[in-house]
Amino acid sequence: MGCEVNPDQSFISNSMDLASESRIVMTLDAGGTNLRFAAMRGGKPVTETVSLPSNGDDLTRCLANIIDGFTQVKALCPEPPSAISFAFPGPADYPKGIIGDLGNLPGFRGGVALGPMLEDQFHIPVFINNDGDLFVYGEAIGGLLPHVNDLLEKSGSPKRYKNLFGITLGTGLGGGIVRNGELFTGDNSMAGEVWLLRNKLNPSMNAEEGACIRAVRRVYAGLTGIPFDEVPEPKDLFEIANGKQTASQEAALEAFRRLGESAGDALGSALTLIDGLAVIGGGVSGAWPIFLPALVGELNSTYTGPDGKKFRRLASAAFNLEDPAQLDTFLKGETRTIKVPGSGRSLAYDPLQRVGVGMSRLGTSEAVAIGAYAFALKHIA
């Protein structure tokens, strides 16, 4: 179940001209089981991937493997790398490169100065960020944001977007914010923690429990009466929902619908503050044909005032950018020409305030890598 929708590498060069960039940056994809190292130049890999075990419960072995992995990748680089940049789980003081108490890498408990250690070892700048942040930054640099602005330009619309909020639907619910081309991380490196918003369908829980892999499986288990451990993985549930596997299609459809409603509620809270486009990635995102209508429907839902009158949940109308008809309306807008009172001047005016929600154009892992690469280059320029 892939998470890409019409991936188009041509957009990578739009914002920072990464395609012509000659500097090399070493990267790391850090998981609870494996560490995968590589290097990029011009927004593309220039080495093969080196994979080593995480050994997350043994700090000494984990750090040794991190150094070994980057050492191996450095030897594969056609030229000396200019920086190291990668995503690593939090909590962390990302600007200082200090990793905090990690759940899936318990050896890091107490705080580990991972960034400074790598700078001492390789004598180049090291940048560490949250994977949700880098995913959205990558999509802002070379994914959904330039893609939509390119479509607006081709349609003749004067409207352009500068802000992007993103979520990743997978093992958990991640998020990130890019404002006017800048990654917004907050004073404690904790901005965009959308997983801690309230769960609309179960207000005693956080949003992640309604918008992740286990949420889909939990709903399916509850509707079918089978034990949670026997529930198929989301890829299979997606096929069940599409009638390609024999099981409860109705339960699978409802599980993904609830995912969309829960994610839409969390996204609505974020877009109320950010007012921009939204991008979705992560391991569950390949099921977007099922859950995205419910998600956008939640964004376009209403509140009820004390007088019984209804009003929009969002100030702006929300559009599903993967729906051709909605995309067409989104691109056209309602542009008209108005006169400036007391003068002969006229101005173009588009009264349709709107936000759009679309799927990752790069794929989640590729977006994170592009985000890490671009972040490093911007800070060593």
Confidence of residue 6 (pLDDT cuts 50, 70, 90): very low
Asked, for residue 305, whether it belongs to a domain, the answer is yes
pTM value is 0.91
Does one domain contain both 211 and 74? no
> Could you tell me if 260 and 352 lie in one domain?
yes
Predicted confidence band of residue 2 (pLDDT cuts 50, 70, 90): very low
- Both 34 and 67 in a single domain? yes
Q: Which residues contact 138 (CB under 8 A, 6 or more apart)?
A: 362, 366, 367, 368, 369, 370, 371, 372, 374
**pLDDT-based confidence at 367, cuts 50/70/90?**
very high
pLDDT band at 153, cuts 50/70/90?
very high
**What is residue 45's three-state secondary structure?**
strand
Same domain, 206 and 319: yes
What is the span of the domain harbouring residue 117? 9-129
Q: Does residue 193 sit in the same domain as residue 342?
A: yes
What span, in angstroms and rounded, lies between the C-alpha atoms of 124 and 295? 43
Could you read off the pLDDT of 270-316 as tens digits, one per residue?
999 999 999 999 999 999 999 999 999 999 999 999 999 999 999 99
Give the pLDDT of residue 102: 75
Please state, in angstroms and as integers, the Cα–Cα distance from residue 306 to each residue in 298, 300, 302, 311, 316, following that order.
21, 20, 13, 11, 22
Q: Are 223 and 324 part of one and the same domain?
A: yes
Q: How confident is the model at residue 11 (pLDDT cuts 50, 70, 90)?
A: very low
In tens, the pLDDT along 334-359 reads 989 999 999 989 998 999 999 999 99
Q: Give the integer Cα–Cα distance in Å for 10 and 369.
A: 16
- Tokens representing 165 are 């909020």
- Cα gap 252→258, rounded to integer Å: 10
On the 0-12 / 13-18 / 19+ scale of CB atoms within 10 A, 123 is exposed
Same domain, 312 and 241: yes
What is the rounded average pLDDT of the residues 242-246? 88
Q: Tell me the per-residue pLDDT of 81-100, one tens digit each, with 9 for 90 and over.
A: 999 999 988 888 999 999 98
Q: 367 lies in a domain? A: no
In this structure, are residues 377 and 21 in contact, taking their beta carbons and an 8 Å threshold?
yes
- Length of the chain, in residues: 381
Q: Do residues 55 and 120 both lie within one domain?
A: yes
- Using DSSP's 3-state secondary structure scheme, residue 154 falls into helix
Separation between Cα atoms, residue 68 and residue 75, nearest integer Å? 11
Please, which pLDDT band fits residue 16 given cuts at 50, 70 and 90? Answer: low
Return the CATH number at 21: 3.30.420.40
Domain count, the chain: 2
242: in domain: yes
